[in-house]
Structure 1
Amino acid sequence: MLINPEVFDLGNKIRAVYVPVEGFKTSLITISLLVPRENNLAENIILPRYLTYCSEKYPLPTDLSARCESLYGTVISGSVARKGESSRVELSATCIDNRFAFDGEDIAGSVLELMLELLFNPLASDGRLSEEPFRLQQRLAVERIESEANDKRLYALTRMTEIMCENEVFGISREEILEALKNTDEASAYAAWKTLLKTATVQINLIGSFDKEKSLSLIKEKFSTVEREPAENNTLFVEKAEDVTEVCEEMEINQSKLVLGYRSGMADRNDRMYARQVFTDVFGGGPYSRLFMNVREKLSLCYYCSARLYREKGLVVIQSGIEKDNKQKVLDEIEKQLEIMRENKFEEADFIASKTAICDSLRGVFDSPEGIDAYLNTKIDENIIPMDEVIKNYEAVTREEVAECAAEISLDTVYMLAGKEDGSDE
């Protein structure tokens, strides 16, 4: 099932995206706000959870919970994600689809009103957010980031990107974020909320049964109260690595983590994006990939080995779990497989399997409201191309294009999180 969303440009970098599907039991609303990552980074981590915890109308979490229960058990949440060198602040709600409500009640419309109420009317006074709920969300944000060290695979990936992009916004370190979180306060968070409404690129996803005209009118009415000055969201792309940085750190773990960071050659996020995605997938994406079949299966040099394209930053990252004594063997074999890609000597069956897997995955986007929402959120600051056209673009990628993309990547950073004797893994 391929559905083309209806996109409504409301001006000043605000748009609504309506996906009128009737095959699901739930409807989903997400308000996404995109801002430069370096601006109010700590505050924008706290804000989405604060805004979905309490508000001026619902000062206690029990008040908000009671309102959600009255809306057939609506579930709301807040989160923040990195998109290139921007932060995407999200408020989401999942509710029963209007088709299942009693007496023709417009549940989706009521939930949209609630979400806009939470966004535009936080619990605050005298230019400050309320102290108790703010301190709670501040503490929880610090704890979440500190707990990431328990996931050694994620920790190693984070350390590699910090080192590789040390002087770039993308590489703002975990320690810098924690320090900023601990030093922020209710006044700076309130100011950041006002800045968010004023400067963000905004997209509101409406997935399910909605009164389209009523929803658009409500969104326009709310944002008409804000003096808008949308900021530009830009990301620095470094096309080629100047040299290779190698860093090895130790931790008491059994399985060492080896992470390689490559510059992909991309000048921007749309630079041969389809061919680069297919290259990354054939190289290290699925069970048919060169890295999986050779480094892991054939040679048994690692527990896992995969590659991923970070399109929004132009990076290709390889992650692997290895015995530390096998480091050089793994590096040599990865380079050997990359050379096979560059010389266009990869298997035709693997090339076909990769494109098939990518296209099947895209077709599966419309299998759930959550899948549709996740896909649309990645397009917040770009045109939404019809899915059938996207699939055709992947199907049109040639072997020669894949080999050319392989030839353009250059190794920038080698990071090793090495295990100590008698260490315990994740």
Structure 2
Amino acid sequence: MFLSTKLAEGVTLHIRQTTQFKTVNFSIKWRTPLTTKDAAERAVLSNVLQHSNGKYKKSAEFRSYLDDLFGTVLYFDATKRGNEHTLLLNVETVNDQYLAENKVFNEVLELLNTVVFEPNFENGSFVPAIVEREKEMIIQRIQSIFDDKTRYAQHRLTQIIRPNHPASISANGTIEAVKEITPASLTKAYEKMINEDKIDIYVVGDFDVEAVQKKLTEALSFKDRKPKQAEKKKDVSKPEKDYVKEQQEMKQGKLHIGFSTPVTFGDEDFPKMQIFNGVFGGYAHSKLFMNVRERESLAYYASSSYSAHYGLVYVVSGIEPANEKKATDVIFEQLEAIKKGEISDLELTQTRAMLINQLKEALDLARGQIDIYDQYKDLDEQFSVDLWKERWEKVTKEDVQKMASQVQLEAVYFLSGKEA
């Protein structure tokens, strides 16, 4: 799918030549082990790098130049996957083939070099006023979770079932960690990212592969490095309580339940767990949706998700507070039904179809191709839709039943109004 080349020790270029798109897409991903401190610094760093650099010191002139490049889109972001934090730079620009003058590609490469290697420094470090402004933006982003009660309930559940664990560390860090950042500490974080992080560079489009490889090697001249490996947490602390109820000013109740499974991303049983999640609550045909929401009318929404890198299954639902016990009972009944093998052929068929369609839809976008390959490349095999379609089609009712039997309750979290 992608042609991979080592540009330096710890730095890999992945190129996909395709006539599928009229644009050229770039993505640079810097990775380091996930900690609260690093997450906070890198979230602020992504904002600071987003708006200015050594050549375009004001956000307005930077955006104006991007508009001149036929509306080139450039943005930084911070995210996490498993035990790693990722700071990423995404760029999408028009392919020179569709322009009268073939010059945008080279100008975008120059801009990439600028935004990566020439930050907006003042006396050797980031500008204090800009750092303070972007710190405030990240703090507001972290605080916004308290206004979205579904996100807040999910955040609290992960804190309860996996305290001091990557699963409960936000990609933005904490408010306290953000407040501690200074221009000097942010400059150190930037230098560490540039010189020590594991780096994957992606480019997708219709172009001459050798020419693009040569130009990118020149534009992004990273040095050799020995990236730190994220350690898997062997000793997972269990929740102190298996039921927690909290109250806030709100009307709808948020019932969130956390389960654990020994099956994680890349395991032989991983495709089976994906099918299990689809049957359990992943889609509109699932048992949770059809029974908790449709049949019993106990929830405004009810679904499950499988966090494969952490071996966790989450159930989320919005309910009337008075229905808490009944909704909880019906949710557990659906898990028990799967454990007993009460799985229809239609549920299996629809789940396979949904997984395949999701994969195909993602691959219709250049960004989707990058993100999927970036994840599945860790499995050390040639990724293809047909391969995963075959794996999902091999999953039987008995397989799903076995997956359900390994799912263990961790904790129930219920967030409701103060009158409940």
Q: Same fold (TM over 0.5)?
A: yes
Asked if residue 406 in structure 1 is aligned to residue 404 in structure 2, the reply is yes
Q: Give the equivalent residue in structure 1 for 2:151.
A: 154
- What whole-Å deviation, never above 9, does each CA across 1:322-353 have from its counterpart, x for those lacking one? 11121111111111110111122111111111
Amino acid at match of 1:167: N
Q: Residues of 1 paired with 2:224 and 2:14: CA distance?
A: 22
CA gap of 1:180–1:242, structure 2 versus 1, over 3 A, is closer
Q: Give the equivalent residue in structure 1 for 2:60.
A: 62
Asked if residue 182 in structure 1 is aligned to residue 179 in structure 2, the reply is yes
Asked if residue 285 in structure 1 is aligned to residue 282 in structure 2, the reply is yes
- What whole-Å deviation, never above 9, does each CA across 1:60-113 have from its counterpart, x for those lacking one? 22332232122111111111112112211111112112222223x142343233
Offset at residue 319 of structure 1 (A):
0.3
Offset at residue 267 of structure 1 (A):
5.8
Amino acid at match of 2:148: D
Q: Residues of 2 paired with 1:375 and 1:329: CA distance?
A: 39
Q: Give the equivalent residue in structure 1 for 2:82.
A: 84
- What whole-Å deviation, never above 9, does each CA across 1:286-337 have from its counterpart, x for those lacking one? 1110101111111111111100000111110000001112111111111111
- Is 2:46–2:77's contact at 8 Å kept on the other side of the alignment? yes
- Is 2:43–2:171's contact at 8 Å kept on the other side of the alignment? no
- Is 1:145–1:174's contact at 8 Å kept on the other side of the alignment? no
Equivalent residue of 2:115, what SS?
helix
Q: Give the equivalent residue in structure 2 for 1:416.
A: 414
Asked if residue 258 in structure 1 is aligned to residue 228 in structure 2, the reply is no
Identity of aligned residues (%): 27
Q: Residues of 2 paired with 1:339 and 1:241: CA distance?
A: 23
Amino acid at match of 1:25: K
- Is 1:32–1:377's contact at 8 Å kept on the other side of the alignment? no
Q: Where do 5+ consecutive residues of structure 1 fail to align?
A: none
- Is 1:238–1:263's contact at 8 Å kept on the other side of the alignment? no
CA gap of 1:53–1:394, structure 2 versus 1, over 3 A, is same
- Is 2:17–2:207's contact at 8 Å kept on the other side of the alignment? yes
Asked if residue 34 in structure 1 is aligned to residue 31 in structure 2, the reply is yes
CA gap of 1:231–1:221, structure 2 versus 1, over 3 A, is farther
CA gap of 1:268–1:277, structure 2 versus 1, over 3 A, is closer
- What whole-Å deviation, never above 9, does each CA across 1:140-194 have from its counterpart, x for those lacking one? 1111111121111111111111111113233237997110001111111111111
Equivalent residue of 1:262, what SS?
strand
Q: Give the equivalent residue in structure 2 for 1:116.
A: 113
Asked if residue 393 in structure 1 is aligned to residue 391 in structure 2, the reply is yes
- Is 1:240–1:409's contact at 8 Å kept on the other side of the alignment? no
Q: Residues of 2 paired with 1:225 and 1:301: CA distance?
A: 55
Amino acid at match of 2:400: V
- Is 2:11–2:222's contact at 8 Å kept on the other side of the alignment? no
Amino acid at match of 2:408: S
Q: Residues of 2 paired with 1:222 and 1:59: CA distance?
A: 21
Q: Give the equivalent residue in structure 1 for 2:7.
A: 10
Q: Give the equivalent residue in structure 1 for 2:293.
A: 296
Asked if residue 342 in structure 1 is aligned to residue 339 in structure 2, the reply is yes
Q: Residues of 1 paired with 2:265 and 2:330: CA distance?
A: 30
Q: Give the equivalent residue in structure 2 for 1:229.
A: 226
Q: Residues of 2 paired with 1:243 and 1:181: CA distance?
A: 28
Amino acid at match of 1:162: Q
Q: Give the equivalent residue in structure 2 for 1:359.
A: 356
How does the TM-score come out when normalised to structure 1?
0.91
Amino acid at match of 2:395: V
Q: Give the equivalent residue in structure 1 for 2:21.
A: 24
CA gap of 1:175–1:247, structure 2 versus 1, over 3 A, is farther
Offset at residue 393 of structure 1 (A):
1.8
Q: Residues of 2 paired with 1:244 and 1:342: CA distance?
A: 25
Amino acid at match of 1:398: T
Q: Give the equivalent residue in structure 2 for 1:143.
A: 140
CA gap of 1:318–1:10, structure 2 versus 1, over 3 A, is same
Q: CA RMSD in A?
A: 2.4
Q: Give the equivalent residue in structure 1 for 2:365.
A: 368
- Is 1:80–1:90's contact at 8 Å kept on the other side of the alignment? yes
CA gap of 1:6–1:388, structure 2 versus 1, over 3 A, is farther
- What whole-Å deviation, never above 9, does each CA across 1:200-226 have from its counterpart, x for those lacking one? 221122121344223323443455453
Q: Residues of 1 paired with 2:340 and 2:84: CA distance?
A: 36
Amino acid at match of 1:185: T
Amino acid at match of 2:20: G
Equivalent residue of 1:102, what SS?
coil
Offset at residue 396 of structure 1 (A):
2.0
- Is 2:22–2:206's contact at 8 Å kept on the other side of the alignment? no
- Is 2:52–2:119's contact at 8 Å kept on the other side of the alignment? yes
